[in-house]
Amino acid sequence: MTRMDRRKEIQANQKKIRIKLILVLAFVTSTLLFYFFGPEMMSRLFHRETPPPAHTLIYNGEPGQTTTFTRQGVAFLPVDWVKSHLLPELEILEQSAKARWIPHKNHLQLDRRDLTDLLHQVTFPIEINLMEEGGVLYFPISGVAPLLGVTVEWRPEYRLLVVNDAHRSWQQGEILKKTTLRTGTRRLDPGTATLEAGETLQVLAIYENHYQVLSESGQTGFVPQAAVGGLKRRETDSRELQLKSADPHPLPHPFGLVWDYVSANHPDRSEEFPIDALHVFSPTWFELKNEAGDLENRGQFRYAQTMKNQGYQLWGLVTNAFDPDLTENFMLNPEGRRRFINQLMVYAALYELDGINIDFENIHYRNQDLFTDFVGELSETMREQGLIVSIDVTIPGGSLNWSQVYDRSALEPHVDYFAVMTYDEHWGSSPVAGSVASLDWVERGIAATLEEVPASKVLLGLPLYTRLWEETPRAGGGVSVSSRAMGMQFIRRTLEENGVTEEDWEWLEDIGQYYAEYEAEGKRYRVWLEDERSLGLKAGLIQQYELGGFAGWRKDFELPAVWDMLEESLEEARRSENP
């Protein structure tokens, strides 16, 4: 080997050694960086981004393998998961998308002992409406948690749902200094997260020098015991398991209410702006199902949360299905009345209602005193729970079952507000076409009501709809009459489609409404319209008689301009009371 060859060999060996040293140094450096600075630093150094976590469930300190999500502030879990983990007796009604069960007495706790005792007098079922998403039925766990004996905490910053059984206890600590959460207890075990000083965590298990912990973000792992301080025993707050009494914010005088009709589908009002003229929404949520006092519940937590966020009070409407025989048998059943009232107590607490609106119509006149007693029994409990109690009544006079059955002066001590249904002057099946609410008829109805009820308790009923009457000539003379209820926009479109424009409308001074008609296919169509002008005249009665406000039937039948007019009417009434 020549001297030149020897030199080349030495240089080659030195190059190999340098490469090995560089590799060893890189390995040691990366290991130290990972160990001391955690995965976040490594991700930044190597430009790797950790994707945001999916919605996660933690149940009793253990990660749950299921889907969770929120809608309008309400947290949902698959109803099958709820049944398998929390409530085996849960009945899932897939066709109607409902869940039903009889709550255990231990899970029926109000924030007052006397009200809790009332709840425990009889057993009763609870129905909750489910939400369908992607072919899966989901349960509104955050709204119903107290009835299941669990607490629910939603941590939006981590997209994490934390569910704990009642009376569960655990050790809680606090991170003393920035440290790395690892998959094991060895210093070289991979880190999964960096925990900042001050972050709280649950201690799941104790090892020689480490704790197995659950972080605020829902990650489990190991940290050195020296990094954790302030250990203390925590347990579920029993107050979180109590149903809360109502505490309505004060209403202005006068105020506006609107009924919101709910059937199989629920209106989504999350994108709507608050309406200044309105202070109370009354959704048609509850209906008597049988003489045992069971209620059909159409309530929705998302709707309730939306309306409360917009500043409205919520008064849940409860009806008797307008069935006089069912109503009689129910009111004659003391246990059925108690079941009915108890269900309303629970639903009012769950949906955080401010009031109840009693819409019992078509009651046998012979049950007048029985009905008054029932309203008194219901009202006593509702008021003890902090709820406002209102009732819907027709104007005095008229038929026995639909009007005279209301003993208004006897009902008055039990009721905070009377919503007088000053509409359907000519009802849907009337044999004669005519106005839904002519001005003189409305005023006479209010004046008659005030002979029995204080003005401050009276809400003026306003129709936000009209009826299109169809008159068909009979072969022997005369006409047969039928009608359809229509909203303000729909009736205008119908008239325009049949060649009737606003210029063709005729103002009728004596009834305070526009009138229009047209003919088609040998039939005569007639309509007495409601608009901001006609409703403005009626709303003037609020100031004239110093009424408590108005109640409109129903939302989404109106044109937007109506609300501006009604707000002006309410303001004028307030100014006249406080000049």
CATH number of the domain residue 291 falls in = 3.20.20.80
Q: Pick from 165, 194, 212: which residue ends a domain?
A: 165
User: Quick check: 175 and 227 in contact, CB under 8 A?
Assistant: yes
**Mean pLDDT throughout 236-255?**
93
What local confidence, expressed as pLDDT, does residue 52 receive?
38
Q: Is the same domain home to 154 and 263?
A: no
pLDDT at 17 over 70: no
Q: Supply the angle between the helices 532-545 and 561-577 in degrees, to the nearest 10.
A: 20
Domain boundary among 149, 165, 181: 165
The count of structural domains within the chain is: 2
Residues 150 and 262 both lie in one domain: no
What pLDDT does residue 47 have? 31
pLDDT over 70 at 14, yes or no: no
453 to 369, 445, 502, 547, 570: CA distances (angstroms) = 17, 12, 40, 11, 21
367 shares a domain with 269? yes
Average pLDDT over residues 281-300: 98
The residue among 311 and 240 whose pLDDT is bigger is: 311
User: What local confidence, expressed as pLDDT, does residue 579 receive?
Assistant: 77
Shared domain for 257 and 159, answered yes or no, is no
pLDDT at position 26 is: 62
Residue 246 in contact with residue 348, Cβ under 8 Å?
A: yes
Task: State the average pLDDT over residues 508-535.
Answer: 98
pLDDT at res. 65: 85
Task: Kindly report which listed range (18-27, 73-82, 330-339, 489-498) carries the lowest average pLDDT score.
Answer: 18-27
Whether residue 565 contacts residue 532, with contact meaning beta carbons closer than 8 Å, is answered with yes
Do 252 and 381 lie in one domain? The reply is yes
> How confident is the model over 467-492, as a mean pLDDT?
97
Q: Is residue 238 part of a domain?
A: no
Looking at the fold, whether 408 and 274 belong to one and the same domain comes out as: yes
Residue among 316, 303, 323, 257 nearest 563 (CA): 257
Same domain, 159 and 249: no
State the pLDDT at residue 132.
95
Domain-ending residue, one of 165, 183, 213:
165
Question: What is the three-class DSSP state of 486?
Answer: strand
The 8-class DSSP code of residue 485 comes to E
Q: Give percent above pLDDT 90 in the chain.
A: 86
> Looking at the predicted structure, is the pLDDT value of residue 340 above 90?
yes
Q: Rounded CA gap, 531 and 26, in Å? A: 80
Helix (H) or strand (E) holding 150: strand 150-155
Q: What is the pLDDT of residue 239?
A: 82
Q: How confident is the prediction for the chain on average, in pLDDT?
A: 93
Percent of the chain with pLDDT over 70: 91
Does the residue 78 lie in any domain? yes
pLDDT value of position 4: 56
Q: Provide the pLDDT for residue 53.
A: 43
Task: Give domain status of residue 576, yes or no.
Answer: no
Phi, psi for residue 464 in degrees, rounded to 5: -95, 20
Does residue 115 sit within a domain?
yes
Residue 197 lies in a domain: no
CA–CA distance, 386 with 243 (Å, rounded to integer): 13
Q: For the beta carbon of residue 60, count every other beta carbon within 10 angstroms.
A: 13
Q: Give the pair of three-digit tokens for residue 388.
A: 């406002």
Predicted confidence at residue 56, as pLDDT, reads 86
**Residue range 265-274, pLDDT digits in tens:** 899 999 999 9
Answer whether residue 72 is part of any domain: yes
Tokens of 372: 């008054």
CA nearest to 495, candidates 523, 515, 475: 515
Which structure tokens are listed for 326?
């069912």
Cβ(223)–Cβ(186) below 8 Å: no
Burial class (CB in 10 A: 0-12, 13-18, 19+), 132: exposed
In a domain, residue 278? The reply is yes
Distance between CA atoms of 251 and 97, rounded to whole angstroms? 35
Helix (H) or strand (E) holding 145: helix 141-148
Encode pLDDT of 34-63 as tens digits.
Answer: 555 454 444 334 333 333 344 589 999 999
Q: Are residues 279 and 394 in the same domain?
A: yes
What's the one-letter identity of residue 68? T
Closest CA to 392 of 488, 292, 340, 315: 315
Residue 10 has pLDDT above 90, yes or no: no
Per-residue pLDDT of 74-122, as tens digits, reads 999 999 999 999 999 999 999 999 999 999 999 999 999 999 999 999 9
Is residue 254 assigned to a domain? Answer: yes
Maximum Cα interatomic distance, the chain, rounded to a whole number of Å: 135
Q: Does 271 lie in the same domain as 396?
A: yes
Most confident of 53-62, 68-77, 157-166, 443-452: 443-452
User: Domain span at residue 128?
Assistant: 66-165
Q: What are 138-148's pLDDT values in tens digits?
A: 999 999 999 99
